[in-house]
Amino acid sequence: MKAEIGGAVDAGVEQRVRDSFQRQGLMGHLGATLSEVRQGLVSIRMPFRPELSQQHGYFHAGGTSAIADSAGGYAAFTLFPELSSVLTVEFKINLLNPARGDALEAVGKVVKAGRTLTICQLEVFADDAGQRTLVAIGQQTLICMHGHQDAPKPARAG
């Protein structure tokens, strides 16, 4: 079955994405939440707080990149087989406008899904008093680790 980018996902797929996101300590630490999980398309939202700022008081590009990276990674992951894991190979991001506002929303979208490699486009928007601005765009390459659990390896028994 070919994926329809933006189409609804199975409950099982959504659960796998939400479980994996939950295990990403950094997302919780940044106050980021999954806002949308669709086939090959995932959005992550991150409200502003001073702990996310750069030196001028806007969102730091590191936080912008972190949610963009996770959004693309999970967009790819929605199309992967059940027993597999996702890793970012590389990404590139252009910061177009000052990332200021009430919240950022990153959208990762699969452009090419392959057996081994998946390529995503990334967009990050700033919502500021009801106005939405595109603040960053990116491209990302992800690898599917077939046969790998998407979780930490259990500690070896003594």
Binding site for a second copy (CB under 8 A): 20-21, 23-30, 49-57, 60-63, 65-67, 69-70, 85, 87-97, 111-112, 116-117, 119, 121, 134, 137-139, 141, 143, 150-153
Give the residue with the Cβ less far from a second copy, 1 or 116. 116
Which among 53, 87, 58 is positioned nearest to 70, based on CA atoms?
A: 87
Are 71 and 107 in contact by the 8 Å Cβ rule? The answer is yes
Q: Please name the residues in contact with 34: beta carbons below 8 A apart, sequence gap of 6 or more.
A: 17, 18, 21, 42, 43, 44, 74
Q: Tokens 């700022």 belong to which residue? A: 53
Q: How far is the CB of 158 from a second copy (least distance, A)?
A: 19
Give the residue with the Cβ less far from a second copy, 9 or 71. 71
| Separation between Cα atoms, residue 80 and residue 13, nearest integer Å | 9
Q: How far is the CB of 137 from a second copy (least distance, A)?
A: 6
Give the residue with the Cβ less far from a second copy, 6 or 28. 28
Give the residue with the Cβ less far from a second copy, 61 or 103. 61
To the nearest 10°, report the CA torsion of 86, 89, 92, 93: 30
Q: How far is the CB of 10 from a second copy (least distance, A)?
A: 19
Q: How far is the CB of 43 from a second copy (least distance, A)?
A: 16
